[in-house]
């Protein structure tokens, strides 16, 4: 699916202040991301309907949880998150989320034990963690996507829309139905410290291009941010003349 914001994305990616490039996370727009997801959902009958969404940021202090219904998920699935945190302050591991129906399966902001990396766990089977350099638990707001393919037991990880790492032959089930975000349980000792700003779940394996489109929609800056960054660039240019 081609993003309606592609021109804005191209424009933003081309903006560079002398001596310092602007990072997408500096001015990213949750509103543009929400619009992209909503348009594709089309009230449930669109080109890419979601199973569930979180549109209000949830803040975690390492002990609390946020109740969340992941939607009806079975087999292939794609979960998108916009999140950030502190893996060091958060102890030796931290949950992104788990569901009541299959609690032995969880997505991890930091995989046990003190890996500093994103991962996923099947209790009693494996604590899987992604080892690619860009798979580290993000400390800045980041678009993180887990894509699960049931037939091959493959979990693909995308960071800001880019294919980052993959683990095949895993035993796992994506969370389905009611559950929670942020910790193994309310008051538990496996909580993340940070913020999950958005969650979007799909009961299908999205294409690479769809995932990139969603990430790009988020990385487009707010119009006021574009204005201020442009003014800052002009001011800096003027001082250096």
Per-residue pLDDT reduced to its tens digit, 168-181: 999 999 999 999 99
Task: Label each residue of 85-102 as H, E or C.
Answer: ECCCCCCCCEEEEEECCC
> Which of these, 146, 151, 116, lies nearest to 131 by C-alpha position?
116
pLDDT surpasses 70 at 241: no
CATH architecture observed for domain 29-219: Sandwich (2.60)
pLDDT of the residue at 65 = 98
DSSP secondary structure of 116-151: -B-EEEETTTEEEE--SGGGBPPSS-EEEEEEEETT
Angle between helices 6-14 and 208-219 (to 10 degrees): 60
| In the predicted structure, residue 3 carries a pLDDT above the cut 60 | no
pLDDT at 231 over 70: no
pLDDT reading at 155 higher than 60: yes
Confidence band for 14, pLDDT divided at 50, 70 and 90: very low
Q: Which of 13-22, 46-55, 128-137, 228-237 has the lowest mean pLDDT?
A: 13-22
Token pair recorded at residue 148 = 């699960």
Where exactly are the structural domains of the chain?
29-219
3-state secondary structure of 180: strand
Distance CA 79, CA 41 (A): 15
Is residue 234 very low, low, confident or very high in pLDDT (cuts 50, 70, 90)?
very low
Which pTM does this prediction carry?
A: 0.85
pLDDT tops 90 at residue 220: no
């Amino acid at each position: 699916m081609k993003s309606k914001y592609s021109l804005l994305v191209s424009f933003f990616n081309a903006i560079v202040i002398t001596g310092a490039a602007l990072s997408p996370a500096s001015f990213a727009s949750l509103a543009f991301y929400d619009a992209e997801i909503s348009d594709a959902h089309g009230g449930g009958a669109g080109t890419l309907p979601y199973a569930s969404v979180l549109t209000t940021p949830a803040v975690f202090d390492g002990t609390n949880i946020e109740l969340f219904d992941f939607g009806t998920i079975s087999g292939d699935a794609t979960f998108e998150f916009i999140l950030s945190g502190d893996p060091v302050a958060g102890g030796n591991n931290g949950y992104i989320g788990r569901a009541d129906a299959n609690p032995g399966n969880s997505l991890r902001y930091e995989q046990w034990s003190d890996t500093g990396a994103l991962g996923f766990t099947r209790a009693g089977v494996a604590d899987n963690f992604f080892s690619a350099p860009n798979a580290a638990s993000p400390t800045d707001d980041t678009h993180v996507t887990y894509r699960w393919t049931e037939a091959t037991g493959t979990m693909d990880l995308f960071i800001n829309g880019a294919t980052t790492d993959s683990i095949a032959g895993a035993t796992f089930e994506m969370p389905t139905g009611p559950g929670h975000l942020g910790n193994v349980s309310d008051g538990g000792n496996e909580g993340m410290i940070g913020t999950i700003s958005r969650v979007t779940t799909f009961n299908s394996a999205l294409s690479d291009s769809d995932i990139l489109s969603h990430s790009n929609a988020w990385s487009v800056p707010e119009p006021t941010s574009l204005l201020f960054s442009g003014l800052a660039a002009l001011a800096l240019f003027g001082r250096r003349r």
